[in-house]
Amino acid sequence: MSRVYNFSAGPAVLPEEVLREAADEMLDYKGSGMSVMEMSHRSKTYDNIIKEAEADLRELMNIPDNYKVLFLQGGASQQFAMIPMNLMKNKVADYIVTGQWAKKAYQEAQLYGKANKIASSEDKTFSYIPDCSDLSISEDADYVYICENNTIYGTKFKTLPNTKGKTLVADVSSCFLSEPVDVTKYGVIYGGVQKNIGPAGVVIVIIREDLITEDVLPGTPTMLKYKIHADNDSLYNTPPAYGIYICGKVFKWIKKMGGLQAMKEHNEKKAKILYDFLDESKLFKGTVRKEDRSLMNVPFVTGNEELDAKFVKEATAAGFVNLKGHRTVGGMRASIYNAMPIEGVEKLVAFMRKFEAENA
């Protein structure tokens, strides 16, 4: 068996320890005689798995009691609709558009009400985060929406927007559990888990209780109401049971690593190795304004498409895979999520140095 260094943006690298543990438990989960995949979601055994996962996540993120944690399906993209359907009481919401995912959310919201684009960084290919300290927030906005870490472009909000008292809703798919977060600043924090937490198929929604009501847009399907999932502890219907089990293992792994503060230090150290190299390199360049750089997704280019392609090809052959940039941006992107070991980044940089010397 040989494992590669996987720089995929998602689905992405998971802790090897978690994968080994899951493999050990594959045929017989703790004496149950079956895999978690084969188990009733109404069983006592499974109930313990989902309850423990929630408790560990609450502990890691220090989630206050007046927030619900929901394990749902449909990916982050389904939340683009669920959020307006459940939260747009006045049928008005403000969107800050800092990339493709925020743009998709903004476009989806237009199906349900008046979505205002109150700021954007599209003028410079989403390579920065706009100043959000004094935006014209709509008087009757039900919420202000951001994508906190822009997976494709490699930017991150270092300070949250001033929402002038309005509820903040954030897509944190690609920075979930990468550093400590003050949950009380948000009405809703959500993300697909396949970037930094677990297998595709689970989306986690952390939502303040007063935002969960029966008062949703007419015609909202039962499955798209936060209330039905909250009232049933994410077991209204069959949840993505195996995926939640793996998420639970990742939560335990993060706890063992020292929690979110330790994760942040680990991630800063890794990102610094790569960014420092990009800043000194004569061949490779980062594409993002320095102060807005993501700790998780690092896009870079040589400025020559043929050379980019050559780099990706040679890197792949050397065991550094999924470095090709998003189809809308080109170049390269290294996603260095929690589970990417520091050696992975050190070895990638050594490889980049060698490539630079050979192609000078």
Ligand X SMILES: *Cc1c(COP(=O)(O)O)cnc(C)c1O
Residues binding ligand X (CB under 6 A): 10, 75-77, 101, 147, 151, 171, 173-174, 192, 195
Which residue number has the CB closest to ligand X? 75
Contact 109, 93 (CB under 8 A): yes
What is the number of alpha carbons within 13 Å of residue 156 lying toward its C-beta? 18
By beta-carbon proximity to ligand X, the closer residue of 125 and 136 is 125
- Give min distance, CB of 215 to ligand X, in A: 26
- Give min distance, CB of 243 to ligand X, in A: 12
By beta-carbon proximity to ligand X, the closer residue of 252 and 293 is 293
Distance between CA 276 and CA 270 in Å, rounded? Answer: 10
Paired tokens of 99 = 């990339």
Burial 5-16 (b: 16+ CB within 10 A, else e): bbbbbbebbbbe
Residue 224, C-beta contacts closer than 8 angstroms, at least 6 positions apart: 78, 81, 82, 85, 86
Distance between CA 4 and CA 185 in Å, rounded? Answer: 38
- Give min distance, CB of 147 to ligand X, in A: 5
By beta-carbon proximity to ligand X, the closer residue of 150 and 163 is 150
Paired tokens of 247 = 């998420």
Distance between CA 339 and CA 238 in Å, rounded? Answer: 28
- Give min distance, CB of 314 to ligand X, in A: 27
By beta-carbon proximity to ligand X, the closer residue of 156 and 227 is 156
Burial 307-338 (b: 16+ CB within 10 A, else e): bbeebbeebeeeebebbbbbeebebbbbbbbb
* Residue entry with tokens 């149950």: 32
By beta-carbon proximity to ligand X, the closer residue of 157 and 351 is 157
Q: Which of 5, 17, 18 is nearest to 270 (CA)?
A: 5
What is the number of alpha carbons within 13 Å of residue 152 lying toward its C-beta? 15
CA dist 186 to 66, 183, 286, 330, Å? 12, 6, 30, 33
- Give min distance, CB of 219 to ligand X, in A: 22
- Give min distance, CB of 150 to ligand X, in A: 7
Q: Which are the catalytic amino acids?
A: 101, 171, 195
By beta-carbon proximity to ligand X, the closer residue of 151 and 234 is 151
